[in-house]
Amino acid sequence: MEAFRLIRTRWGWFTVVARGRKLAGTRLPVKRKGDALAEARRAFPEAEYDDQILPVLSAAVTQYFAGYPALFRATLDLAGFTDFQRKIIRAARRIAYGQVCSYGDLAKRIGHAGAARAVGSVMRHNRFPLVVPCHRVVASGGRLGGFSSPGGTAEKHALLALEGGVGALL
């Protein structure tokens, strides 16, 4: 069974989707609750609203958007991912708050030097924004690179600024 909840943060409404006790997806905050609700229902039409799911993760999300470091403890539902994609996701989760890593360096960390584009592809299709901190993965030379959220690279920059990690990009 899938369920979702909306978490009110200082940045707007963050969406968490669970499949059983595992995290199935997240969506970065949007300003209007109705927009978050509509997106959750479109992306997860079988999910039911449940404001009690994943309470520890939900508290961490609130803490994060209030400007404090947070640990996003949740077991991810990685069904449908290849072993290679799982390695990238696990490595990205280890990028510390306020730090950045290049696509190429992340590829090296999983033993696939030269696979920077493949890392970029996995980050571009990240179902777990924030929990899998794709905003902390940047292009070579510290350039921001892309960001597939509706807010684009401006949102990526804002997330890094919230963490104090923008200095690494200047």
Catalytically annotated residues: 134
Confirm if 67 and 162 have CB atoms less than 8 A apart: yes
Confirm if 125 and 112 have CB atoms less than 8 A apart: no
* Residue closest to 30 by CA, chosen among 40, 17, 45: 40
CA dist 27 and 155 (Å) reads 13
CA distances from 19 to 66, 78, 80 (A): 27, 11, 14
CA dist 119 and 146 (Å) reads 12
